[in-house]
Amino acid sequence: MITFSDAERRARMVERHRLSSRRRADRVDTVADDLVGLHSSDPVTVYLSLHARLDGATIESIERALYEDRSVVRHHAMRRTLWVFTPEHARLAHASTTLGLVGPQRRALVKLLAENEVADDADRWLDEAFAAVAAVLREVGEATARELGERVPSLRAGLSYAPDKPYGGTISAHTRVLVLMGFMGRIVRARPLGTWVSGQYRWAETDRWLAGGFGSDEPARAASQLVDRYLRSFGPASPVDVQWWTGWAKRATTNALAACRAIEVAGQRGEPLYVAEGDTAKASTEPSIALLPGLDPTVMGWKERDWYLPPERAATVFDRNGNAGPCIVADGSVVGGWAQRDDGTIVTSLHAPLSSTHRRMLDEEIERLRGFVGDSRFTIRFPSPLSRHLAS
């Protein structure tokens, strides 16, 4: 059986995730494909993850890919979170994962509508709301949630949820209606209202925004292909890693690994890992430094992280819900964190020593990042303890 040491796994990470200056790409969709998808729960993540892996990237060039060329698209998928995919990967994620959310989410919304006495027939009310949203978007092209509420007054109905819980509250019906239509693949998030740091999006009909929509692939086939793509980027990975990344049940994960003919290999401690069929090549080691943002797909790509993140440092890099903060990655190892302060200063903290070569590279990356963000200020939506401390 082929064995991969921790160092060999890190070398593959650096190469395949484009973490070295030599491996940087020149297209947004190339990077999105190489990582399968980019996390977009925090809009800042998309831009900073791309900047770390692109030569000559600007805010404008990334916006052009997102909203004009549409070579990448936002869509809810694995772990019910928001991603940016190329259309091909968006279709695989939609068929294998997102469509499975529709039934449970619809039933939950119908129950909430009934509990709030929004309509005598909540199912019918919901179908009519879908039709009304689609009609407005067909007429105007793109619209915000507020604009849709103004055009379809019934969407402004208030929904109280979890009244006996500390996280309970009241939301407008359109909040849940639009998200559910997104899960269904009927609408997508278009250009935001504000700048690149804004997460308030306009909505558009999928078929008008993305040629061919999300397609109609068979779920099991799509799951097999999605796991194959994941392993070609993140492998060697354990079954626990695959299940964590996809958010699937254990059986679905096992079935997809078998269907894509994943090859079992061994880790440094003899632990069972998997790579994609025919993908046992090992990468050469090269010096690298990357400033990765919170929720970056590399740091978030594995559940079992001891081989690239010292266990005693995990609690400083990740918050209690498993969200990674901004990290410094050297030669595939997380060696510290960083943050932007209110005055725009980029500050760093290291928990591992760096060579003089790596320190010079880190200084260069800080300057490169400053040039990219310019006068923009951004707030990390899911800060780690370390990044929160640095920012203050």
Distance CA 67, CA 75 (A): 14
Query: Residue 106 pLDDT more than 90?
Result: yes
Q: Please answer whether residues 384 and 318 qualify as being in contact, where contact means their C-beta atoms are separated by less than 8 angstroms.
A: yes
pLDDT in the model for residue 164? 80
- Enumerate residues 6+ apart whose C-beta is below 8 A from 140: 147
pTM for the whole structure = 0.96
Query: Residue 115 pLDDT more than 90?
Result: yes
Query: Residue 189 pLDDT more than 90?
Result: yes
Q: What share of the chain is helix, strand, coil (3-state, %, to 5)?
A: 45, 15, 35
Distance CA 31, CA 24 (A): 9
pLDDT in the model for residue 11? 98
Query: Residue 298 pLDDT more than 90?
Result: yes
> Taking the CA of residue 255 as centre, how many other CA atoms within 13 Å lie in the half-sphere pointing to its CB?
11
- Find where tokens 């998309």 sit: 46
Which tokens in the block code for residue 330? Answer: 């050297």
Span 309-366, pLDDT tens digits: 999 999 999 999 999 999 999 999 999 999 999 999 999 999 999 999 999 999 999 9
Of residues 248, 229, 231, the one with CA closest to residue 302: 231
User: Which DSSP helix (H) or strand (E) runs through 366?
Assistant: helix 356-373
pLDDT in the model for residue 214? 97
pLDDT in the model for residue 167? 78
Question: 239-246 vs 250-259: helix axis angle to the nearest 10?
Answer: 110
